[in-house]
């Protein structure tokens, strides 16, 4: 049996040894032959977090007459995956000419990266084409 002083010494040593490694993964001693890899529940310091993605989406027109085209422009930073829901995967920045057909079309850009997710949305209103003389 270990003495109480020995148990306190082991406890204090464990606490003091862990302090410099707050926010790090570590090996935890379980018995003479067993070790468990344990992930710390402390978040890493702010300077070590990856930058959050940013996304922007614009159009040259927000209201069009049926049959007209728009030019979507987008830009994303700090993202590993960039997609426009109605189109699919796209590069980090670019532009595309489209002809929306429904009365209201929503375009949604999603930028995902190690630092999180950012979303940009734009709505395009499509007015029906009215023939002349009616």
How do residues 89-102 score in pLDDT, each as one tens digit?
999 999 999 999 88
Q: Which CATH number fits domain 54-127: 3.30.300.130, 3.90.950.10, 2.60.40.10, 3.40.630.10?
A: 2.60.40.10
Q: Which two tokens stand for residue 54?
A: 């940013």
pLDDT in tens, 42-70: 666 667 788 999 999 999 999 999 999 99
Say if pTM beats, i.e. exceeds, 0.75. Answer: no
Q: Which two tokens stand for residue 14?
A: 């464990």
pLDDT on residue 82 = 97
Rounded to whole angstroms, the Cα distance separating 80 from 118 reads: 12
Range(s) within the chain of domains with CATH label 2.60.40.10: 54-127
Say whether pLDDT at 120 is over 80: yes
């Amino acid at each position: 049996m270990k003495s109480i002083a020995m148990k306190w010494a082991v406890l204090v040593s464990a606490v003091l040894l862990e302090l410099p490694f707050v926010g790090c993964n570590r090996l935890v001693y379980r018995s003479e032959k067993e070790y468990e890899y344990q992930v710390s529940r402390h978040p890493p310091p702010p300077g070590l977090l990856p930058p959050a993605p940013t996304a922007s989406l614009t159009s040259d027109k927000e209201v069009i007459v049926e049959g007209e085209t728009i030019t979507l422009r987008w830009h994303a930073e700090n993202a590993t995956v960039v997609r426009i829901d109605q189109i699919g995967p796209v590069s980090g920045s670019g532009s595309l000419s489209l002809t929306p057909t429904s009365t209201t079309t929503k375009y949604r850009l999603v930028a995902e990266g190690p630092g999180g997710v950012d979303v940009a949305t734009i709505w395009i209103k499509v007015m029906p084409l009215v023939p002349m003389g009616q």
